[in-house]
Structure 1
Amino acid sequence: MLELTASLPMYNLPELAGKNAAFWEALSKEMRAQRLASIPPDLVFSRPAVPDAIGSEVLFSQTCGYPLQTIYSGQFAFLGVPTYDFPGCGPSTHRAFVIVGKESPYRTIEDLRGARFALNSIHSNSGMNLPRLLLARHGIKAPFFGTVAATRSHTESIRRVQAGDLDAASIDCVTYGFFKELCPEKVSAIRVLAETPESPAIPFVTSIATPSDQIEQLRAALFRVANDSVYRPVLDGLHIKTITAVDPAEYTRVVAYEREAAERGYAELK
């Protein structure tokens, strides 16, 4: 029998482990009330933010909007989209902050020409797609950076900019908000240089292999957690204001951004 998994890999700081676990406990309680079978007892904390695929074992996860429209196309079903209360977020939206060293000479996005840029993943909306669009809308054409170094995570990008190993990175505003709240010493030597355009927030998803009736039960359980005041402390711990239904058309914006950047002469972040 397939062993189902649950994970929250997008905001998986060690300092958030207990709060993420509390969210899963609340959702599990509501899923049990729906008599949903085979509920994973615990979250998988080792799942990467950008895995190879959304396999049939994935009962619940949270996945970046850009790979959902590219490498994960046809592999998932939407469950709901959170609205966070951090700066940079709007109703069901987020954006990225371009960060640099606090004492660096950079004052505008154009000043980064020739700089060393930290890229968490070529499949990242906040780390790659949104800064690409930002640069394109400033009339900048590729190549622009001196170096684009793969770091594999926003956490590592932040660490390397803070350490001065790299000059700049584009970080999801929710990730940046959690760093400032939970481990401010890790961002004490950096500052926000620019903000990208907004984009649909990172949604909760399940595998497309999940039976349709279970998908509806998952959605119902998720919305009960969002709307029952008893769970408000759990949501507040994760800075989630609400969770609402997903409009799939909104997520086509991320590939529209990709096309726009290409048309403006910045098809690849380099």
Structure 2
Amino acid sequence: MYNLPEMAARNAAFWEALSKEVQGPKLATFPSNLVFSRPVVPDAIGPEILFTQTCGYPLRTIYSGQFAFLGVPTYDFPGCGPSTHRAFVIVGKESPYRAIEDLRGARFALNSIHSNSGMNLPRILLARHGIKAPFFGAVVVTRSHTESIRQVQAGHFDAASIDCVTYGFFKELCPEKVSGIRVLAETPESPAIPFVTSIATPSDQAEKLRSALFRLVNDPIYRPVLGGLHIKTITAVDPVDYERVIAYEREAAERGYAELK
């Protein structure tokens, strides 16, 4: 999920460490490298997917029944809590906006209609401020948080909602790309983005992956690897936690803001 070009070496180190911790003979389909060529929101989590990290909202909507949980990371970036994250609503640094209500009629950059941090979390934030649709002057899909950030920084759009972990990595690794923006508001927290495998992965293989993740975070030798990705720990997933993303959807609709527009 977090794969800026500047993170390539860090992600490779994580995969190498996880590979070492998969005990016994390597899984038959165990790849030697992570692949980043797939779209951020693919059409499905197919049977070929052994390991991935997927946003919580599509897990409960378009990917329902297609995956099995492996573990959920806790990140150390601002906006994160134990197994949670949130989104930051960003605007241009010199823009006149001072409160979320000031964005009425603004141009909003949306990474995906299936995004929890880009769509679902700002939707509940706006709904809880008593805002009803339509609110924005325009909502345009950019296809990625990276592109949304670029468009707001360039002044082509007025605002976007960005996962706080993504924002944290940008500030650390390529601060020039966020030097012209600021955080206007923070959304409610939400379950962090989990690691999952395809539902077609045999249960014994899924358990090997799950156990390897937990050994990884408990072995001090891997602390630099995890620290490079700002992962404090990885814990077991309570699937009930991810019902919160749908509860936010229902609440927003009940408050009169069913669609981000």
What TM-score, normalized to structure 2? 0.99
Give the stretch that moved more between structures: 197-206 or 225-234.
225-234
* Match in the other structure for 1:182: 173
**Aligned partner of 1:268: which letter?**
E
Q: 1:58 aligns to what SS in structure 2?
A: coil
Q: Secondary structure at the match of 1:59?
A: coil
Q: Percent identity?
A: 85
Aligned residues: 261
1:254 aligned to 2:245?
yes
Q: Which runs of 5+ in 1 are unaligned?
A: 1-9
Answer whether contact 1:115 1:147 (CA < 8 A) is retained.
yes
Task: Please state whether the residue corresponding to 2:44 is helix, strand or coil.
Answer: coil
2:184 corresponds to which of 170, 184, 193: 193
Q: What residue number does 1:69 align with?
A: 60
The residue aligned with 1:223 is 214
Give how far 1:16 is off: 0.5
SS in 2 for 1:219: helix
**Equivalent position of 2:149 in the other structure:** 158
Question: In the TM superposition, what is the alpha-carbon distance from 1:99 to its structure 2 partner?
Answer: 0.1
Residue 33 of structure 1 deviates from its aligned partner by: 4.1
1:27 paired residue among 11, 15, 18: 18
Question: Which residue is equivalent to 2:224?
Answer: 233
Tell me the equivalent position of 2:99.
108
Partner of 2:202: 211
CA contact (8 A) 2:88 2:163 kept: yes
**One-letter amino acid of the structure 2 residue matched with residue 204 of structure 1:** F
Note the alpha carbon deviations across 1:62-98, whole angstroms, 9 max, x for none.
0000000000000000000000000000000000000
Shift of 1:45: 1.4
Displacement of 1:216: 0.8
Equivalent residue for 2:48, pick from 41, 47, 57: 57
Per the alignment, residue 28 of structure 2 pairs with: 37
- CA distance in structure 2 between the partners assigned to 1:53 and 1:14 by the alignment: 24
Name the structure 2 match of 1:149.
Answer: 140
Of the structure 1 ranges 216-225 and 115-124, higher mean CA displacement relative to structure 2 is found in: 216-225
User: How far 1:123 sits from its partner (Å)?
Assistant: 0.1
Alignment RMSD (CA, Å): 0.8
How far did 1:36 drift? Answer: 2.9
Greater Cα offset, 42-51 or 127-136: 42-51
Shift of residue 226, structure 1, vs aligned partner: 1.2
Q: Does the Cα contact within 8 Å between 1:34 and 1:217 map onto a contact in 2? A: no
**Amino acid paired to 1:251:** Y
How far did 1:49 drift? 1.5
- In structure 1, the residue matched to 2:39 is 48
Aligned-pair distance for 1:34? Answer: 6.0
**Which of 17, 22, 35 pairs up with 2:8?**
17
Contact 2:29 2:50 in 1 (8 A): no
How many angstroms does 1:47 deviate by? 1.7
TM-score (norm 1): 0.95
Q: Is the 8 A contact 2:122 2:161 kept in 1?
A: yes
Supply the distance in 1 between the matched residues of 2:255 and 2:151 (Cα, whole angstroms): 30
Q: Distance in 2 between matches of 1:12 and 1:35?
A: 25
Q: Quote the residue 1:80 is aligned against.
A: 71
Q: Is the 8 A contact 1:89 1:95 kept in 2?
A: yes
Structure 1: distance between partners of 2:26 and 2:141: 43
Q: CA deviation at 1:38?
A: 2.6
Please give the alpha-carbon distance, in whole angstroms, between the structure 2 residues aligned to 1:109 and 1:40.
45
Runs of 4+ with deviation above 2 angstroms? 32-38
| Aligned residue identity for 1:131 | P
Q: Tell me the equivalent position of 1:242.
A: 233
Structure 2: runs of 5 or more not aligned: none
How far, CA to CA, are the matches of 2:27 and 2:114 in structure 1?
A: 32
